[in-house]
Structure 1
Amino acid sequence: MTRYDILTAIPTAFGRDGSLDLEGSRAIFRYVGKSGNEGAFVLGTTGEFPAVDVDEFTALVSAALDELKDRMRVVVHVGRPSAFEAVRLTRIAGELGATEFAALTPYYLRSSDDAVFDYFRQVSDAVGDGRLYVYIYPARSGNPVSPELLVRLAGLPNVVGAKVSELSLDELAAYRAAVPADFELYTGADRDLIAAVDAGAQGVVSGVSSVTPQPFRALADAGRSGDASAIAAAQSAVDEVVALIGGDMARMKEGYRVLGVADSYCRMALDEPTDAEREAVARVVAAYA
């Protein structure tokens, strides 16, 4: 059966001073848990993972599993520049009860294919009986993954799929053509659920769906039904919310503020929304949350 899964990429709540707001994060987890989406993607790009230390990672993973594991899948992102760090986080998350993991390729320094493979081999070993997704985001990591390398990675124990961000649908289709049929692919492009599934993916990892799940649920349901008019209507709504919120974590957090879920801020160097952007977020949240 063709899948139209939505894994919600969840923002991390911080105070205005940059301190971790664990209770705010719990409130966001609870809100996402009511969305009806198939899963949560925790401490990825949307969760500002590069700015989270190990103690905060531990607290957030524990909170996410506590709030979400009985409602949906929880995929914990453990990617770091080194296998040493990624393995450490994988073991911490596993001890807390995580069973699904994702790891961004090594980043900042350029790595050879063999070095990337060895990195994932070590993380795969640390996963144990869990499931591991390769997170491919060359625009941020500086390390591309060719279809040939992904085939090698798919042969590792526990590597069951990949999340692909800021790559074209043609590149997604090239991965699909190369990897085994049961290897899962997810796009990181919020609006591309239908197009990505048509290219061979199983769904989308979407940060915008964390604030406005309704149009994404409608699009997934329409995709499953095959109703062209329903797909067109739902796609139009998704396009609208993505255009106004986009991949901007500050706007997502403004959405949570409007909803009364959490009054949170970004820790990383991101602009706060302008007054006009706040008004736009309020309109779209009122219409679609």
Structure 2
Amino acid sequence: MAIFKGAGVAIATPFNANGEVNYEEFERLIEFQIANGTDAIIVCGTTGEAATMSEEEHMEVVKFCIDKVNKRIPVIAGTGSNCTETAVKLSKIAEEYGADGVLCVSPYYNKATQNGLLAHFGAIAEAINIPIILYNVPSRTGCNIMPETVVKLCRQYKNIVGIKDATGNIAQTSRMMQLAEGCVDLYSGNDDEIVPIMAVGGLGVISVLSNVAPQQTHDICQKCLDGDFATARELQFKALPLVKALFSEVNPIPVKSALEMIGIKAGPLRLPLTKMEPANEAVLKEEMQKYGLI
């Protein structure tokens, strides 16, 4: 059984002015998500600025989220690293804390061959019992998990169950699903590709858009799951201008501005990320208004 179907939010991490995690506001964001139809929470991923957290802080945020959600919906912890030992360590702690699964990005900077990816993800799978979703985002990592590698991992390890696909390459995704013959749980990693990904067998999305539009993102996915792709397509089209604005600068710069616009005190970004450019922020505000969020 899949960890979740529908819209999983790649949740942002609110910070105080001094740069520390704002747990009070983080709880508000968690409750906002659950109250508005989010199907799962993915904590400490790219959108959560995990790359700027110490291991201790990273796992404190994961534990806080797991405890506050309290099994109402699945919580998937981002535990990937370009160091296999670190990824194993974080994944084991997430399992101890009660995570429903982990999201593991392919190694970045040092990268890996396909054989290296098999060994890296295999080591994580052998260290834990909870489900693992691979995360393929070559634009950030410089490392592409090829379809054959994904399928081999999902067949070889019972707890490697699927992939967050942010390749933007629908031909590669289709090839993977053709090879998989049902053994790969596929999630879109791009908010502008929810319907195309679900049309080739995806179960939903791991979404940035869901931070500010959880119900709407859920609805796009649900229409696909119901087989109503005509309505899903219209909902996807309606969201495209806002999605474009949410990615006008590197994620999560725009979405933290968007959260502020709806009254969530997302706070500052951690360097090297900086505040959104005023011109881009003005466009984002306009699209938020058009979409009915403010």
Quickly say closer, same or farther: Cα 1:218–1:157, change in 2 above 3 A. Answer: closer
The answer to whether the aligner puts 1:133 opposite 2:136 as a matched pair is: no
Q: Distance in 2 between matches of 1:229 and 1:156?
A: 36
Map 1:45-60 → 2, pairs under 5 A: 45-60=46-61
Alignment deviations for residues 144-165 of structure 1 (CA, whole Å, 9 cap, x no partner): 2112211221112310111111
How far does residue 212 in structure 1 lie from its aligned partner after superposition? Answer: 1.6
Q: Distance in 2 between matches of 1:104 and 1:240?
A: 28
Aligned to 2:153: 153
Alpha carbons 2:30, 2:69 under 8 Å: kept: yes
How far does residue 227 in structure 1 lie from its aligned partner after superposition? Answer: 4.5
Quickly say closer, same or farther: Cα 1:125–1:232, change in 2 above 3 A. Answer: closer
Which TM-score applies when normalising by structure 1? 0.90
Map 1:94-105 → 2, pairs under 5 A: 94-105=95-106
Larger CA deviation: 75-84 vs 134-143: 134-143
Alpha carbons 2:42, 2:75 under 8 Å: kept: yes
Write the letter of the residue equivalent to 1:136.
N
Aligned to 1:11: 12
Quickly say closer, same or farther: Cα 1:283–1:146, change in 2 above 3 A. Answer: same
The answer to whether the aligner puts 1:249 opposite 2:220 as a matched pair is: no
Which TM-score applies when normalising by structure 2? 0.89
Q: Distance in 1 between matches of 2:86 and 2:229?
A: 46
Alignment deviations for residues 108-145 of structure 1 (CA, whole Å, 9 cap, x no partner): 113222222111111112222x1111111222222221
Quickly say closer, same or farther: Cα 1:242–1:22, change in 2 above 3 A. Answer: same
Q: Distance in 1 between matches of 2:222 and 2:180?
A: 27
Write the letter of the residue equivalent to 2:224.
G
Return the match for 1:269 from 269, 272, 275.
272
Aligned to 1:177: 178
Where 2:163 maps in the other structure, the secondary structure is strand
Aligned to 2:143: 143
Larger CA deviation: 230-239 vs 153-162: 230-239
Alpha carbons 2:151, 2:183 under 8 Å: kept: no
The answer to whether the aligner puts 1:35 opposite 2:43 as a matched pair is: no
Write the letter of the residue equivalent to 1:172.
T
| Aligned-residue CA RMSD (Å) | 2.4
How far does residue 211 in structure 1 lie from its aligned partner after superposition? Answer: 1.0
Larger CA deviation: 15-24 vs 113-122: 15-24
* Unaligned stretches of 5+ residues in structure 2: none
Alpha carbons 1:215, 1:288 under 8 Å: kept: no
Quickly say closer, same or farther: Cα 1:91–1:5, change in 2 above 3 A. Answer: same
Write the letter of the residue equivalent to 1:120.
F
How far does residue 241 in structure 1 lie from its aligned partner after superposition? Answer: 1.7
Aligned to 1:117: 118
Alpha carbons 2:211, 2:259 under 8 Å: kept: no
Quickly say closer, same or farther: Cα 1:274–1:177, change in 2 above 3 A. Answer: same
Alignment deviations for residues 79-130 of structure 1 (CA, whole Å, 9 cap, x no partner): 01111101110111111111211111122113222222111111112222x1
Write the letter of the residue equivalent to 1:251.
P
Write the letter of the residue equivalent to 2:221.
A
* Unaligned stretches of 5+ residues in structure 1: none
Aligned identity (percent) is 23
Q: Distance in 1 between matches of 2:173 and 2:35?
A: 30
Q: Distance in 2 between matches of 1:56 and 1:253?
A: 20
How far does residue 203 in structure 1 lie from its aligned partner after superposition? Answer: 1.4
Alignment deviations for residues 17-45 of structure 1 (CA, whole Å, 9 cap, x no partner): 43332333222222222221211111111
What count of residue pairs does the alignment treat as equivalent?
A: 288
